Copies of this chain bind each other. A is one copy, B any other.
Amino acid sequence: MNLKDLANSLGLSPTTVSRALNGYPEVAEETRRRVTEAAARLNYRPNTLAKRLATGRAMAIGHVIPISTGHEIVNPVFTDFIAGAGEVYSRAGYDLVLSIVPDSEEERTYREIHSKGNVDGVIVHAPVRNDPRIALLHELGLPFVVHGRATGTALPYSWLDLNNNRAFERATRFLLDLGHRRIALVNGIETMDFAIRRREGYKQALAAQGVAADPALMVSGEMTEAQGYDTARRLLALPAPPTALLTSSLLSAMGVRRAVEEAGLRMGRDISIVTHDDELGYLRNGAEVPIFTATRSSVRAAGRRAAAMLLRMIASGDDGPHHELLEAVLVVGGSTGPAPPAA
């Protein structure tokens, strides 16, 4: 059942049928009614491929995910972001096309995706400082939105980001207000823009209180349970161990908790933990009362908003740049408490 068949069965021309279905004004209401009714009855669906070719719009958004031998971008945060974005695409009739490629081929993939014309825009994930993808996408003229920011890039670009600096500044201040002075930062990999900003926020809060940032207490690495555990063990073994830890993900926080408990300490009493909570679907920070005090911001919601931003840009032909800065809320759970009296 294609457009022509449908038109024939109605004794109309394809032109009229197409217009009736696509809401053009120059078709009589009575005709439109007949057409839509027949389309529904005959279960007619316009062929996407033909439609795309004719309109020149791919009706699809691309997400290019590099798989590197090193850092894994195929991670839980990414998944939830995609899920959020995907909801928005579906509702808008857009497809989400995912390209999983070795990172050595990332540039080639962007070029190809563009010249092959199978997407109308892309979302850029996990930006780093001076991210080369931004210049590339500018050159290609492909609409895009960055999830996060790529400081150091001179070119304008649209982004949606969590205010990581502020979130970690507040978290740190919260710990300082509780009397903590030795606060460790268990950060993500600091080539990632978000990790750099988190460290800045942390340092700003310390500086504001005149507390010197101790390099020994600032660690960065993959945000896994094992890494959190190892790091916390090491930190707790220091001559002057921290009384509080600030971690970048719930997974690291779980590792930290394990090390803490293994050391015979009680979380929230002997030692405080604040984490960042992306509100991942399958990794919850407790139910009613959060287990961990956390800076919380749904990455899924971020995905939804970034997708919406991109679709708006595409629909309006307006390249922006547009910006959206999300604020995390600081939720207090059971993992924090006043600093224990100095030993």
**Is A95 an interface residue, CB under 8 A from the partner?**
yes
Q: Could you list some 12 contacts between A and B, CB below 8 A?
A: A48-B118, A50-B53, A60-B97, A65-B83, A67-B83, A75-B282, A82-B100, A86-B99, A90-B109, A96-B99, A258-B258, A261-B262
**Is A21 an interface residue, CB under 8 A from the partner?**
no
**Is A254 an interface residue, CB under 8 A from the partner?**
yes
In the complex, the chain B residue whose C-beta lies closest to that of A83 is B74
Given the contacts A60-B97, A86-B98, A254 and B225 also touching, CB distance less than 8 Å: yes
Establish whether residues A45 and B112, one from each chain, have CB atoms under 8 Å apart when the complex forms. Answer: yes
Interface of A with B (CB < 8 Å)? 43, 45-50, 52-53, 58, 60, 65, 67, 72, 74-76, 78-80, 82-83, 86-87, 89-90, 95-101, 109, 112, 115-118, 222-226, 251, 254, 257-258, 261-262, 281-284, 286-287
| Cα(A76)–Cα(B225), bound, Å | 14
- Chain B residues with Cβ below 8 Å from A117 are 47-49
In the complex, the chain B residue whose C-beta lies closest to that of A82 is B98
Given the contacts A48-B118, A261-B258, A100 and B96 also touching, CB distance less than 8 Å: yes
Given the contacts A49-B52, A283-B225, A284-B226, A100 and B112 also touching, CB distance less than 8 Å: no
- Chain B residues with Cβ below 8 Å from A112 are 45
- Chain B residues with Cβ below 8 Å from A254 are 225, 254
Given the contacts A48-B118, A50-B53, A95-B97, A78 and B79 also touching, CB distance less than 8 Å: yes
| Cα(A232)–Cα(B79), bound, Å | 28
Q: How far is the CB of A301 from chain B (nearest CB, A)?
A: 13
| Cα(A326)–Cα(B76), bound, Å | 25
